[in-house]
């Protein structure tokens, strides 16, 4: 079947359904603005979340509203696009319909799957039950509230300090783990003023990673800089050892060491969103959906997968990293092929996706970040940190969010203060792994 043949009567606009309003899904929708198609964007939430800054919500630097944007607001001026809040739980590729958790169905002519990722626990005992994930605004507020509750508890009963009430173990030395560790140490500085009666110098952050250095994928000199910076901020960095088990009182490492800690941040890894398991499609490492070089699952000409759930590989056969830039570029690529399909541009409908690596950056905290370009150029320190700030400000969707985040960062930087350190919601153990049926915020 020529892919351009969408079986549509002349003049009928194909219905493109995009599942997920993360970076990949949203970019795809926006790139279809002037295409002769009708777009429906489906998401379980009514807002887009700027995930790279979730750790700042968890550490009271920003609030939920700063890093989220109502989807309907984003696509408000896009005449060919509608939005539906709903939880997709399956698909019938023969009938070309999606199944929703509420029993409804959504027909499509072309489907773009961008469900994103969920936290991966790798079968580590107790990790899911006792670890705090950081994949949604709900996760971030729960973690922030939990950490602040520990300080309140110690203020009432200082003996709790001996049980690790103020110790946080961060599992996983990727960008999230490093950023959380640095930001927690800076938050403790603020809390030392809030809690004069608490020995905040006994509040610990222990970053645990199985590798020899944090931030795998970066140049060794940058990884060493990150380690040194974290240590300089007062974090403990335990490398070359994995976490064996997690329980309510702390973690046990693979070498038998025990760390008493009432807070365990689980930043050890992600897997494709559980929707990927429910489609009957082939999966690869991390439960990602196997796709060809055009981002289509083999045998499914009208389906694209983009972002963290896509198992696309580069020319060497390596899976692309699960980062925002890949999702964004894949979303745009799917939109381009959809336009080609619709217009019958046979030369373009099978154009392979090629990732344009713009480099990567991570921040460790105030005045400290790392930046690495594909050319091999690297940068650390204040300039890299300013670069990180600018890139993230510009990437935020919406003027209001940019203004709010800029204002908060400026205030935090000048005052060494943190704003939204509110304890919200009932005390709770962390949520189960996100399931397609459960709203996650």
* Catalytic (active-site) positions: 179
Quick one: 85 or 348, whose CB is closer to a copy of itself? Answer: 85
Query: Rule CB under 8 A: is residue 64 a binding residue for a copy of itself?
Result: yes
DSSP secondary structure letter of residue 77: T
Rounded to a whole number of angstroms, the minimum distance from the CB of residue 180 to a copy of itself is: 20
Count the alpha carbons within 13 Å of 129 in the hemisphere toward its beta carbon.
11
User: Phi and psi dihedrals of 429, rounded to 5?
Assistant: -75, 155
CB of 70 to a copy of itself, least distance (A): 5
Q: Tell me the per-residue interface mask from 127 to 146 with a copy of itself, x by CB under 8 A, - otherwise.
A: ----------xx--------
Q: Token pair 């619709």 is at which residue? A: 342
Give the residue with the Cβ less far from a copy of itself, 104 or 280.
104
Q: Which of 138, 98, 19, 224 is nearest to 425 (CA)?
A: 138
CA 378 to chain centre: 24
CB-wise, 72 or 366, nearer to a copy of itself? 72
Within a 10 A sphere around the Cβ of 396, how many other Cβ atoms? 20
Q: Which is nearer to a copy of itself, 17 or 334 (CB)?
A: 17
How far apart are the C-alpha atoms of 171 and 268, rounded to whole Å?
5
Paired tokens of 195 = 């809690």
Q: Is 194 in the site for a copy of itself (CB under 8 A)?
A: yes
Q: Find the binding residues for a copy of itself in span 69-98 (CB under 8 A).
A: 70, 72-73, 76, 82-86
Decide: is 158 part of the binding site for a copy of itself (CB under 8 A). Answer: no
The DSSP 8-state label assigned to residue 218 in this structure reads S
Q: How far apart are CA 193 and CA 159, in angstroms?
A: 20
- In the 8-state DSSP scheme, what is residue 14? P
- Residue 441 CA to residue 438 CA, distance in Å, equals 9
Q: Which of 27, 63, 179, 209 binds a copy of itself (CB under 8 A)?
A: 63
Q: Which of 298, 344, 352, 407 touches a copy of itself by CB under 8 A?
A: 407
Give the interface with a copy of itself as residue ranges (CB under 8 A): 45-47, 63-65, 68, 70, 72-73, 76, 82-86, 104, 137-138, 148-149, 152, 155-156, 193-195, 197, 400, 403-404, 407, 411, 417, 419-426, 439, 441
């Amino acid at each position: 079947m020529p892919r351009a043949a969408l079986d549509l009567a002349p003049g009928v606009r194909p219905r493109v359904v995009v599942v997920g309003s993360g970076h990949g899904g949203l970019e795809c929708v926006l790139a279809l603005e002037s295409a002769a198609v009708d777009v429906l964007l489906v998401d379980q939430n009514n807002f887009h979340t700027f995930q790279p800054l979730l750790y700042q919500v968890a550490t009271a630097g920003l609030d939920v509203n700063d890093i989220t944007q109502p989807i309907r607001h984003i696509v408000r001026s896009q005449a060919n696009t509608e939005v539906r809040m709903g939880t997709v739980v399956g698909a019938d590729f023969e009938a070309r319909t999606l199944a929703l958790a509420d029993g409804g169905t959504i027909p499509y002519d072309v489907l773009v799957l961008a469900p994103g990722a969920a936290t991966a626990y790798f079968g580590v005992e107790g990790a899911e039950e006792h670890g705090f994930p950081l994949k949604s605004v709900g996760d971030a507020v729960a973690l922030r509230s939990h950490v602040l509750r520990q300080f309140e508890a110690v203020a009432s009963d200082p003996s709790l300090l001996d049980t690790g009430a103020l110790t946080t173990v961060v599992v996983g030395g990727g960008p999230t783990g490093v950023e959380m560790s640095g930001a927690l140490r800076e938050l403790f500085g603020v809390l030392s003023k809030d809690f004069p009666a608490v020995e905040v110098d006994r509040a610990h952050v222990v970053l645990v990673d199985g590798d020899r250095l944090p931030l795998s994928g970066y140049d060794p000199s940058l990884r060493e800089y990150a380690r040194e910076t974290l240590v300089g901020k007062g974090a403990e960095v335990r490398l070359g050892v994995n976490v064996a088990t997690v329980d309510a009182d702390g973690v046990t490492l693979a070498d038998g060491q025990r760390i008493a800690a009432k807070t365990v941040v689980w930043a050890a890894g992600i897997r494709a969103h559980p929707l990927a398991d429910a489609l009957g499609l082939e999966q690869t490492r991390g439960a990602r959906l196997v796709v060809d070089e055009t981002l289509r699952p083999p045998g499914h000409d009208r389906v694209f997968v983009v972002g963290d759930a896509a198992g696309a590989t580069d020319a060497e056969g390596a899976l692309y990293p699960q980062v925002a830039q890949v999702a964004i570029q894949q979303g745009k690529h799917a939109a381009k092929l959809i336009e080609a399909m619709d217009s019958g541009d046979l030369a373009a409908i099978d154009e392979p996706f090629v990732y344009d690596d713009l480099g990567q950056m991570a921040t460790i905290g105030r005045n400290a970040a790392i930046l690495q370009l594909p050319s091999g150029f690297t940068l650390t320190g204040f300039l890299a940190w300013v670069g990180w700030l600018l890139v993230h400000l510009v990437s935020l969707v919406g003027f209001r969010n940019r203004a709010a985040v800029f204002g908060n960062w400026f205030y935090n930087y000048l005052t060494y203060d943190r704003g939204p350190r509110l304890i919200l919601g009932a005390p709770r153990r962390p949520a189960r792994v996100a399931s397609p049926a459960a709203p996650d915020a």
